[in-house]
Amino acid sequence: LIQPVTPELLVSPSSQDGDLGSECPEDRGNWTGRLDFLLSCIGYCVGLGNVWRFPYRAYTNGGGAFLVPYFIMLAICGIPIFFMELSLGQFSSLGPLAVWKISPLFKGVGMGTILIVSLVAIYYNMIIAYVLFYLFASLTSDLPWQHCGNWWNTDLCLDHHVMKAGNTSFPVNITNTVSPSEEYWSRYVLHIQGSSGIGDPGRIRWNLCLCLLLSWTIVYLCILKGVKSSGKVVYFTATFPYLILVMLLIRGVTLEGAWKGIRFYLTPQFDHLLSSKVWIEAALQIFYSLGVGFGGLLTFASYNTFHQNIYRDTFIVTLGNAITSILAGFAIFSVLGYMSQELGVPVNQVAKAGPGLAFVVYPQAMTMLPLSPFWSFLFFFMLLTLGLDSQFAFMETIVTAVTDEFPYYLRPKKASFSAIVCIALFLMGLILTTEGGMYWLVLLDDYSAGFGLMVVVITTCLVVTRVYGIKRFCRDIHMMLGFKPGPYFRACWMVLSPATMMALLVYNIIKYQPSEYGSYRFPAWAEVLGILMGVLSCLMIPIGMVVAVLQEEGTLWEVGAFPAPPGFAALPTLFKAEAATPQLQSPKPLMVHMRKYGGITSYENTAIEVDREMEEEEE
């Protein structure tokens, strides 16, 4: 290969020729600290699902035996796709839209990703608003959901404190009763009795609206300067939840009856392993817990230096995420065991998943502890920090994707553009603050990131391995890390991961069940609307193909089969790799030189030689 030589026209941006620098987009920026990227990925992956979904899925699918399919699916599906997304982002230094320069025909995959992330960001921040509501409500000497007798309570409300004080010796039938925490959640926080269904949203709950506004304000302030600001915030938001989780775990296991809940959580039932449902549930937990397909991993990796060891980071984040989920299960079920003993009912009658665990069951358990407001505040503060990390990633994905498409116009105004995006998503989320807002949240949760997300991930995997080429992709990784991925990663990328995700997709379609919230069944038009949300993200792929063919010269096969000119994909990272060398202080002048005067530079020559060697290997 020809040694890089600095042409005469490669002047620094501070040169007297100001026209050269002015034609180049503003720098994307990079992580400013050594741990920024790693902590951001940990904060992104370790979210609310680790606390309120994994423990419930574990105990309903074989207890401790669930860990067998869980770790197998982590090895087959989780780790390989996670590593693929990080490699794509780091090598290209581009967001989820611009990265499809590797194959312009499939740019619709990036469009589908942005649509999915936007829908998820709308309702995910509403969940953070609920957490803020409970956080503020915990700042009192007596928790408001501790007793019955409030204006929002009904005759069905049963206060366990009164039962305990009365020394009730006979068994109480609680099937037709409601806990104070459940009525506080449904009748006070949501005020759901003011809505007859999803078609009747009712009035805006202004206390929830203000919490949603505060939530979006916090998110905006943390992403104001992109990864330079959010990369510093995660030093707190990604680590502090572990401190609280350990405190809750220690407090939980010291409670009377705690081991009853832990046995219920971990007792292995190996006969469940013969059921395909358990393996599908394990794969789904891995799929959504790691956040693959949402573009957050690719976006974070695009701000890395060229030689960042993402191979090591992949195993740290994925295994750390799994261990966190297991620890969260101990913290949750130890408290549920104590709660079941206090109420005199089996653990399975108090165990729930999702918002029911976070906003009904666990708050009720907190009222049974001494210093209940303190433990309640800690729990909801942990949920707040867990949720904010993921929301940072969603917003950074949207902003980075669009600014990379229009770097000359939007990068200098990234803060203003971020504000516009936050305001727009806040306004679209106002319907979630109404009395019937929970129905819309359930609809978004069930359909926005369902089969559409799986189609996006499957397509990404197939395009990278078949269209861009597995050998070229492995060569890219070799350029970054100094070694090529082994047979394990190649086999997963080529066969195992796509096949597993196809099985997930088929299973979800076959086992489709209409959405419901409690006893409420959604009307047909709401189901159709939800299905359209999922289908629309899939339709972005053929729409992108049509646009690519109209914009590019050549036939559909030529646009798709030849994803990029020789060495094209290598150029962005070669610019980044050489940016710090003494010969070339900034990549901007080189880009200007190529644009103005053409010709083959030493960097292009390097990329061409790399592809030429790869073609010789294929022959």
Q: What are phi and psi of 148, to 5 degrees?
A: -85, -175
Report the b/e string of 467-478 with b at 16+ CB within 10 A. Answer: bbbeebbbbbbe
Q: What are residue 520's DSSP bridge partners?
A: 517
389 is in an annotated binding site: yes
189 is in an annotated binding site: no
390 is in an annotated binding site: yes
Contacts of residue 616, defined as CB under 8 A and 6 or more positions apart, other chains included, come to: none
Q: Where are the alpha helices (DSSP H) in 429-523?
A: 437-447, 451-462, 470-481, 487-491, 497-510
Which amino acid, residue 370? P
Q: How is residue 361 annotated by DSSP?
A: I
43 is in an annotated binding site: yes
321 is in an annotated binding site: yes
Q: How far apart are CA 432 and CA 201, in angstroms?
A: 9
Q: Please say whether the beta carbons of 405 and 98 come within 8 A.
A: yes
571 is in an annotated binding site: no
The closest of 61, 71, 122 to 430, measured between CA atoms, is: 122
Half-sphere exposure (Cβ direction) of 125: Cα atoms closer than 13 Å: 32
Tokens standing for 127? 């969940």
Q: What are residue 434's DSSP bridge partners?
A: 204
Q: What are phi and psi of 521, to 5 degrees?
A: -105, 135
Which amino acid, residue 469? G
What dihedral do alpha carbons 215, 218, 223, 229 form, nearest 10°?
-150
Radius of gyration of the chain (CA): 26
Q: How far apart are CA 106 and CA 543, in angstroms?
A: 9
Tokens standing for 305? 């230096």
CA distances from 440 to 194, 403, 430, 445 (A): 15, 30, 11, 9
Q: Residues at the annotated binding site for Na(+)?
A: 43, 46, 50, 289, 321, 386, 389-390
Q: Residues at the annotated binding site?
A: 43, 46, 50, 289, 321, 386, 389-390
